[in-house]
Amino acid sequence: MQPEPLDRQDIATAIQSDEMLFEQMTPAITEPLNLNQAMARALKYNLDNRVKLMEQALAEQSFNLAKMDMLPVLAANAGFTSRNNEDASSSENVRTGVQSLAQSTSVDKDRTDADLRLSWNVLDFGVSYLKAKQEADRFLIVKNARRDIMAKLLQQTRSAYWKAAVTQKLKPRIDALLIDTEKALAQLDQIQRERLRAPLDVLQEQRQLLSIMRNLKSLQRSVETSQIELASLINQAPNVEIPLQAPSELPELPPLPSNDLDVLERVALANSGEYVGQLYNARIAQREARKSMVRLLPGLEFSYSANYDSNSYLYNDTWAQAGVRVSWNIFRLFAIDEIKAQNEARDQMVEARRLASNMATLARVNLGWQQYHNSLDSLAIAQRFQALDEQIADFSKQARASRAISGTQSLLNQAKALNSVLSNSLAYADAQDAYGGFLFSLGFNPVPEDYQRYDVDTLASNLDASFRQWSGGSLPLQDPALWLEAQSETTQAQDGQASL
C-alpha cells in the first residue's frame, strides 16, 4: 500500500463544489445593511460559528452515546461446527490404569448452536454512569464556549461594520479630492516643463501634493480592507461591495456604568463561559478520581441467557441459564498510592487553570472598562480636531477664491479636514469596538437560545431590542453575591420551619 496524494482534478472539483456551496448557503444582500442585520447575518452564516455549532452537536451526541454504555449487554451468538470424524473418547480408571469404557461419542459431527445472553456488570455500570456525567459536563462546556464565540463574533462584526460604514460614507469625498490632487500635479508638471515658476517652489508644492495623495490612498485602502473584513464575518464574497446604512449622524455612545468594578468583575465571572467551564472541569476531575477508585473494587456481573444446541445426543436442546460472577484484579490495589497521587496532581492542575481563568476574566473586565473610557476621551478630542480643520478648510476655500493662498495650500487644508473627518469617524468606530469589547468582557450575550430558527430580520429585531435596552443604561448587572445571600436566607427559613 502506498500513499495516494490528491490529483489536480480532485482539488479543482473540490474548489468548484465549495464555490457552489458558498452561493447556496448565503442569500444575496438586496438592500443596505444596518448594524443589527450584519450581526444577524454573521450569526447565521459565519462559517466559524457553524463549526462551533457542529462541535456542540457532536458533544451532545457523545453524551447520548455515553448514556447508552450504562445499559446491560445483550449479545446474540450463533454458529455452525463440522468435523471430518467422530468426537469420540474413552475413560480410564485412575487407580488401575485400565480402560473402563469403550470409545464413545456424545457430540454430532455437524451441529449448530445459538444463544441470547443478557449480562450486567455493576462495576462497569458505575464507571459508565460517572463517564456519562463527565460527558454531560463536557457538553455544557462546549455550549458555554460557543456562546462566548457568538459574543466575540458580535463584537468583531460591530467593529468591522462601523469601520466599513464610516469609511464607505467618506469614499466619494476621498475620490473627488484625489481627482483634484492629480489635476493639480498635472498642472505643476506643465509649469515645471515651461519654467513658469522657480523650480524649488514647484518641487516643494509637488512634494506636498504627493503627500496628500499618499494619505488619500491610505484612506482608500482603509475602505477596502474594512469591507473585506466585514465580508468575511458575514460570509460574503470579498470582492463584492456590501451596501451599508451609514447614518447621517453617528448615534450617541452609552456612558460607562456607574457600578463598582468589583460588582462588574463578579458579574463577568458568573457569565464567563471560560471560567464556568473550569468549574465544570473541576467536576469532571472529581468524577475521574472517583472512576479510578471505583475500578479498584471487585466486579460483580449478573447474567441470564437462552441457549439452543442441535446436538442430537442432548436430552434438552434448549435451556435457560442464569449466573453471578465476581472478578477482582487484586494487583491493581498495589497502585493505589500512585492513583491517589495522580488524582491530587489533577486537582491541583484544575485549580490552577480555574485561578488563571479567573484572573484573565478580571483583567479583561478592567481592560475593557479602561479601553472604553479612553476611547470616549479620544473621540471627544477627534471631534474637536474635526471642527477646527473644517473651519480652516472653509477659510482656505474663501482665500483660494480671492487668490490669497495657492491651490496647493487649499488642497492641503482640504486633505487635513478630510483626514480629521475620517479620524473622528474611525475614533467613533474604535469607541464602538471598545463598547462591544466591554460588553463581551462582562459576558453579555443577546443571542436567543433558538436563534437558528429565526430569519435574518427577526433575529436582527431581537438583537436591536437587547442593545437598545443596554444602551439605555439597563444592563443585566445582577451581583452573584446576592445569590448567596438569597440562598442563605432560604436555608435559614427552612431551618426555622423544621425547628417548629
DSSP string of 167-233, one letter each residue: HHHHHHHHHHHHHHHHHHHHHHHHHHHHT-S-HHHHHHHHHHHHHHHHHHHHHHHHHHHHHHHHHHH
Whole-number pLDDT of residue 359: 94
Q: Which three cell numbers stand for residue 244?
A: 451599508
Backbone angles phi and psi of 90, in degrees to 5:
-130, 175
Whole-number pLDDT of residue 338: 92
Torsion region of 117: left, alpha or beta (phi above 0 gives left; psi -120 to 50 gives alpha) = beta
Identify the CA nearest to 230 among candidates 45, 449, 18.
45
63: number of Cβ within 10 Å: 20
Radius of gyration of the chain (CA): 38
Under DSSP, the state recorded for 247 is -
Under DSSP, the state recorded for 259 is S
Whole-number pLDDT of residue 291: 92
Q: How far apart are CA 414 and CA 184, in angstroms?
A: 13
Backbone angles phi and psi of 242, in degrees to 5:
-95, 120
Residues composing the chain: 500
Identify the CA nearest to 183 among candidates 22, 28, 408, 418.
408
CA–CA distances in Å: residue 170 to residues 27, 385, 425? 27, 17, 9
Q: DSSP letter string over 421-442? A: HHHHHHHHHHHHHHHHHHHHHT
Please state whether the predicted TM-score (pTM) of the whole model is above 0.85.
no
Q: DSSP letter string over 298-346? A: PEEEEEEEEEEE--TT-S-SEEEEEEEEEE--GGGGGGHHHHHHHHHHH
Place of cell 457538553: 139
Q: Which residues of the chain have pLDDT under 70?
A: 259, 397-408, 483-500
Whole-number pLDDT of residue 6: 85
